[in-house]
Amino acid sequence: MKVCILDNGITSLTLAKALVNQKIYVDIISNKNSPTMASRTIGISRSNVEFFNSYILNIDKIIWKLNKIEIFTDNLKNEKLIDFEDNKNYLFSIVKNSDLYQLLKKDLVKNKYFKQINLNKNLIFDKKYNLIINTNYFSPIAKKYFHKKILKKYNSFAFTTTIKHEKILNKTASQIFTQRGPLAFLPISNFETSVVYSLDNLKNIKDDYLYSLIKKYNLKYKIKGFDKIQSIELISSSLRSYYHENILAFGDMLHKIHPLAGQGFNMTIRDIKILINIITKKIDLGLPINYLVNQEFESKCKSKNYIFSNGIDYVYEFFNFERKTHSKLLSKSVKLLCNNSMINKFFTRIADRGINY
């Protein structure tokens, strides 16, 4: 069996590693240059870390585990809105994009089932692939077969950087719903913390202005310096059709969501679990690997992903409405609701494992 994956980002490499672990030949077809990621980070839930370690590649050495997530809102000043905590285990992990990319790439180049091929317009038709998996949002295949989607523009941009600070026990992530948009402090070591600030209607922003906003909401770090700021326009999208014959869309092609909950890559890992399970079951039964894999994958994932994506969007819209109305009543209601231990555990489980039914 042979699979072709278009593009060489983290999603592509993660999927490729999961497939070669099943002794499936994988060709990645992409441009020579690897994606620029600089100081960007990824959040991975505990259950997804466990899956990654067991079925893809052990990443314990490059992740930073967090045992507490605190949520604040400007409407309640410094009063904590929600508190998610696990004293016995970690809740979530943060990893640098560049670290994960290099670890996956280093492992794959040594694997006999893996090959990277430079992009050529006609190359994917020169060989027979059981499946062609496209993770490239801007590829010709995406424009031809996967242009129909439910799209929402937030009219905002996510600005990312990493702050260098004095040593601190750094195991708690913070999310602050400010009057300008959601701001997240995501620890990656005792000396560094990744920052993601989603600001409305601001594409071009001076670094000093962003640094001043971060410092305003920084409650615990003695900052020594900042990495270069990167930005990306924020959109939410859900693909209407997941596949065309033996071509399957994957990763951000299927679902792009607001980064406020750190769930984008977690959705992709859950998709990988399902796709690998479908493929291995068909191989065990001696069934062909063809468009029927894509058909079953869409059937199992599409509705779950749509509901989960809309749930993230609902959270964004709720707090967006809350900050525009300056309503303390809404904030107090959320605080009261999420202080209920059963509800708190329910939301923690959804964030960790996604929607299962």
Is 199 within a domain?
Answer: no
Residue 236 backbone phi and psi in degrees, to 5 = -120, 135
Report the pLDDT value the prediction gives residue 126, as an integer from 0 to 100: 59
Report the pLDDT value the prediction gives residue 282, as an integer from 0 to 100: 95
Helix residue ranges per DSSP H, 60-185: 97-108, 140-145
Concatenated DSSP letters for 36-58?
A: P-TT-EEEEEHHHHHHIIIII--
Number of domains in the chain: 1
Residue 11 backbone phi and psi in degrees, to 5 = -60, -45
Is 346 within a domain?
Answer: yes
Report the pLDDT value the prediction gives residue 272, as an integer from 0 to 100: 97
Is 227 within a domain?
Answer: no
Report the pLDDT value the prediction gives residue 122, as an integer from 0 to 100: 61
What is the Cα–Cα distance from 73 to 323, expressed in whole angstroms?
A: 8
Is 176 within a domain?
Answer: no
Average pLDDT for consecutive 10-residue bins of the chain (357 residues)? 93 97 94 63 95 96 95 80 82 94 95 89 70 89 90 91 96 91 95 93 79 92 93 92 96 92 92 97 93 96 93 88 76 76 81 74
Report the pLDDT value the prediction gives residue 357, as an integer from 0 to 100: 45
Is 186 within a domain?
Answer: no
**Domain ranges, residue 28:** 2-152+234-353
Is 87 within a domain?
Answer: yes
The enclosing domain of 127 has a CATH number of 3.50.50.60
Report the pLDDT value the prediction gives residue 39, as an integer from 0 to 100: 62
Is 9 within a domain?
Answer: yes
Question: Residue 352's closest CA among 44, 125, 6?
Answer: 44
Concatenated DSSP letters for 272-305?
A: HHHHHHHHHHHHHTT---SHHHHHHHHHHHHHHH
What is the Cα–Cα distance from 251 to 306, expressed in whole angstroms?
A: 13
CB 276 within 8 A of CB 301: no
pTM tops 0.85, yes or no: yes
Determine what percent of the chain falls in helix, strand and coil, rounding each to the nearest 5: 40, 30, 30
CB 173 within 8 A of CB 261: no
Six-digit token pair at 340? 């209920």
What is the Cα–Cα distance from 340 to 156, expressed in whole angstroms?
A: 33
Is 143 within a domain?
Answer: yes
What distances in angstroms separate CA 120 from CA 30, 143, 168, one per listed residue? 8, 17, 49
